[in-house]
């Protein structure tokens, strides 16, 4: 039984990761600003299997401490997993017209929170415990897209942080995961924004070619959690 720390579980890819991991029998420590009624009911009915931690990821003071994570991990004996799923695409717009508050929030959610949460997780990890750390990134981390400068920069910066984690801990499975486009609320927000590639995303949606996040979640679990570490 894996013990999984997962951010952004209330909707989209995070909600499907939560559902499928729980269905696999894993223990889950869910972190987010909000949770679904079903998730709250599960945490009440199965506190040993599902724990919820309400946090505003842009505010570091609300993140779980190393002691809190240590307590969660100590109750399990299987591999420990940290999945950074939460992310924000806003602000979308040209440099010079970016709302400062939205830019600060994006840096907090997409970059600072993954760094601090990983730091706490590594501090809490029992010696010798097999572990995996996944960062849900984006193709935008490696491609210049006009009006996406903040999103691209935060994803690229976080990827470099996790490259550093891999270098420091060669025995740790670390992956920057590009899930590709999918039919989520983030895509809806992009279609409502103005940027040069917007028509491509509108056409994908209109043609019904955006993958279901449940399928993407299944692929991520199969490729990065179910495979032996020695196979990477």
In the chain, where are the structural domains located?
3-180+212-231
Q: CA of 166: how far to CAs of 72, 79, 118, 131, 186, in Å? A: 23, 17, 12, 12, 29
Percent of the chain with pLDDT over 70: 85
Instruction: Say how far apart CA 200 and CA 220 lie, in whole Å.
Output: 24
Name the more confident of 145 and 19: 19
Task: Summarize pLDDT for 210-219 with one digit per residue, the tens.
Answer: 678 899 999 9
Question: For 3-180+212-231, which CATH class?
Answer: alpha beta
User: Is pLDDT above 60 for 230?
Assistant: no
Q: What is the pLDDT of residue 65?
A: 98
């Amino acid at each position: 039984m894996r013990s999984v720390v997962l951010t952004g579980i209330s909707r989209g890819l995070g909600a499907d990761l939560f559902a499928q991991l729980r269905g696999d029998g894993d223990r889950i420590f869910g972190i987010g600003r909000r949770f679904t009624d079903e998730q709250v009911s599960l945490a009440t009915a199965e506190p040993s299997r599902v724990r919820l931690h309400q946090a505003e990821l842009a505010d570091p003071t609300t993140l779980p401490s190393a002691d809190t994570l240590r307590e969660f991990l100590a109750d399990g004996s299987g591999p420990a997993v940290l999945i950074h799923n939460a992310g924000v695409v806003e602000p979308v717009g040209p440099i010079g017209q970016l709302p400062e508050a939205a830019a600060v929030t994006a840096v907090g959610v997409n970059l600072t929170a993954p760094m601090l949460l990983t730091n706490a997780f590594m501090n809490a990890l029992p010696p010798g415990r097999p572990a995996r750390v996944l960062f849900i990134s984006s193709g935008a981390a490696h491609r210049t897209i006009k009006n996406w400068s903040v999103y691209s920069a935060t994803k690229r910066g976080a990827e470099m942080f996790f490259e550093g984690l891999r270098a420091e801990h060669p025995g740790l499975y670390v992956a920057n995961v590009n899930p590709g486009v999918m039919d989520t609320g983030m895509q809806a927000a992009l279609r409502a924004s103005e940027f040069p590639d917007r028509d491509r995303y509108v056409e994908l949606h209109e043609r019904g070619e955006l993958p279901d996040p449940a399928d993407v979640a299944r692929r991520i679990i199969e490729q990065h959690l179910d495979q032996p570490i020695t196979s990477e």
